[in-house]
Chain A
Amino acid sequence: MQTTNRITANRITANRITANRITANRITANRITANRLTVNGAADDLLATADGRELFSVLVACAIPSDITLEADVDGTTFEFFGEIGLTPQWLHSPLDREGQGWVSACVFAKINAHDVTVNISMRGPHPALAVDSIERRFFSVEEGAFYGNMFTPLDQPILWIACRGAGQAAGEPGLIDRVCANPDGAPQGLTQCGFFFAGDCGDFGREFACEHFSENGEFYQDCHASPIERKHHFPEAFDSSYDGKDDHRRTNVFREVITTYVIP
């Protein structure tokens, strides 16, 4: 796998997710291919519209590795969809399970851009497909935040898209001027400027923070919550692996599939 695979561009808008939600949900119940490289018919509705194909391109880019290209035939036109990151290659052969949904969702959320501009991001997380090398770390030195949740929630429930704010975003780094999806909108509902659920600051640089661990080596957050961990548990318990959090109901829903994003200054 190439070392540049974690560096990815982002342009898709949040509206593209909500507008194609029904058809996007349908494909998780099936393996993504009908045979080795042809897209399953469950994706037909998604592929039938221009915006649906754009979303499907992002899903494939997140899920499938870069050495695989999927083909789909829609009304006599053959479309190609290119793998890129490779977070859930098992989706080629089986339905997307809960963990896989978490990884694909985190990747799609990280790629959303509220300003409809394209920015290169470095994705990092506890997944082999998200490993980074020293060059990528040197260039992508500004920490934006972390993204997690599930875009494939049942249709009678809201999309579970969550972001916490990273150290660079909290510090107002100028390289993040066009990356605001991990930035709170300031309204009391607790949303980010993209409409995601705002979980607070990711790490202990903030007064309240959402993630239990930070991998110093990999530079990514782990075990993140939908809202800040109780302040009374901040120090040192929240980052103490021996702490079980039994008395904090908000700790019970821990997201393991978390992608931390970085940009160039």
Chain B
Amino acid sequence: MIKHILLTLVVGCATFPDPVDEVTDYELATTDGTCPVASGQWCTETAPVSSPLPLLHGVFAIAANNVFAVGSSGTILHRDSSAWSVQPSGTGLNLLSVWAASASDVWVGAEAPPSGTNVPPQTLFHFNGTAWSLITGAGAPTTDINSVWGSSSTDVWFVGSTVATHWDGAAFKQFALTGTLLSVSGTGPTDVWLAGENIQLQHFAGAGWSPFSPSPGPASQALFTVLPLGATDVWVTDGVLTKETMHFGANKTWTSFPADATIGGRLTSTTFNGLAPRSSTDVWGAGQSRVGHWDGKAWTIAQPFGANVSLQSISIAAGNGWIVGENALIGHQAF
């Protein structure tokens, strides 16, 4: 009976909303590397990598059984219906972001290589369904790509450092900005949002980037991620204590909602690195070691993977959510 309970803790992971920060054996999973399907629970899946375990920066789910995760030292992982596998990226760069228009049209952005090396300066990779290749054409990004988002295969944005680059299916166009661009997302080709450090929240309506008014805060306020769900349904996350998320709503003003919690007896404030929606009243966030859930009224914060992790990215598709982070962590929930 004791063994059964322990097994449940390990492979079944935590149940929301109760904080279960003592569950730290996340690296242990079922033998086939995929979670048991259990609605309402986060569990962990085994990444087929060896030590040193990569930091997984980005995850994107195309479908329930078609998920990509990318991370440090050129790590690209793919999940099909049965397990995760490694895809050869051909690079040792740290891979920061991933987005896909389809299973045969996947983009990955990288951290720019150190100066003075012989590594090609380009930082964008593409998967055509068969193999990955470095994009070296005219206008291809050469700076960090912290975030990728598109509305289709002919409308894709890559952002990082101070540059936002657009791909229209035939050519790249670069937009020079300032600060550090961290997050891009949109609802369509003429409704794209951009957030970052030392830069105001930016909006693209089809011509160029401009600061969005009203601003969710001071110009210098770092915004970690942006998630637009509609013209009057936009989320940003920040590091302002007790105001860690800001929502732009129907009254066309920003309203703050806290993402604080006392976990394991310690006061915490969570800045989400990533947000992913199931609906306007069912949004999930991941940041630091914590996962948040918005139910339409408030955020519930928990620590389903233990305290000794950092969660970097979250993606939801077809009723399934994935979270990735430090030490090759892959969390999964079938909603």
Contacts and interface: CB of A to CB of B under 8 A. Distances in A.
B314 to A, nearest CB: 14
Contacts of A74: 176
A264 B269 contact: yes
A85 to B, nearest CB: 9
Interface stretch (A134-142, A202-210, A237-245): A134-142
Contact of A141 (B114, B200, B267): B267
Q: Which secondary structure dominates where chain A touches chain B?
A: mixed
A50 B310 contact: no
Contacts of A171: none
Interface stretch (A53-61, A148-156, A212-220, A247-255): A53-61
A174 B180 contact: no
Given A13-B111, A84-B198, A117-B57, A66 B218 contact: yes
B128 interface: no
A82 B267 contact: no
A54 B268 contact: no
Given A116-B94, A120-B239, A264-B269, A82 B220 contact: yes
Contacts of B72: 115
Contacts of B111: 13, 116
Interface in B75-116: 94, 96, 111-112, 114-115
B161 interface: yes
Contacts of B245: none
A57 B180 contact: yes
B177 interface: yes
Interface in B211-243: 218-222, 224, 239-242
Interface string B23-67: 000000000000000000000000000000001010000000000
Interface residues on A, range: 35 or more
A12 B289 CA distance: 21
Interface string A175-187: 1011000000000
A118 B114 contact: no
A177 B241 CA distance: 20
Contacts of A2: 218
B266 to A, nearest CB: 4
Contact of A8 (B200, B222, B309): B222
A76 B259 CA distance: 42
Given A4-B240, A57-B162, A117-B312, A84 B220 contact: yes
Nearest to A142: B266
A81 B162 CA distance: 12
Q: Most chain-B CB neighbours within 10 Å: which of A7, A57, A58?
A: A57
A94 interface: no
Interface in B168-199: 176-180, 182, 197-199
B290 to A, nearest CB: 10
Nearest to A8: B222
Q: Which 9 A-B pairs have the closest CB atoms?
A: A9-B222, A120-B239, A84-B220, A19-B115, A174-B308, A57-B198, A82-B219, A82-B220, A174-B307
22 contacts: A9-B239, A50-B176, A51-B161, A53-B177, A57-B198, A61-B220, A69-B219, A79-B176, A81-B178, A81-B198, A84-B198, A115-B72, A117-B273, A118-B222, A118-B273, A120-B269, A138-B267, A139-B241, A139-B269, A141-B267, A175-B288, A264-B288
Interface of B: 55, 57, 72, 94, 96, 111-112, 114-115, 142-144, 161-163, 176-180, 182, 197-200, 218-222, 224, 239-242, 260, 266-269, 271, 273, 288-289, 307-310, 312, 326
